[in-house]
Amino acid sequence: MFQAITSLSDNDIELVVDAVTEWCSQHHCDIQSSRGQFALAAAVDALQSSPNHDTLLHQLSEKLTDSK
């Protein structure tokens, strides 16, 4: 996971962290929890097709809802 994040641009890292932080806040979980780490991995994967924060957050919510 660390390698995937370090290969992103500073802007993309900020986008991923902001989206995951917001998602974790909405779902009452800590970003350091297993659920938060899964959200982080999903956000890095979703970033490939998500050009902005709102789209990324929406895709992240859909992906994580589907995985329950």
> What's the pLDDT tens digit per position in 20-49?
999 999 999 999 999 999 999 888 888 877
33: left (phi over 0), alpha (psi -120 to 50) or beta: beta
pLDDT at 59: 82
Length of the chain: 68
What is the number of structural domains in the chain? 1
Q: Is the pLDDT of residue 6 over 70?
A: yes
pLDDT at 50: 63
The domain in which residue 9 lies consists of: 2-66
Helices assigned H by DSSP within the chain: 2-6, 10-26, 34-46, 53-66
- CA 43, 49, 55, 58 torsion: positive or negative? negative
Residue with the bigger pLDDT between 35 and 67: it is: 35
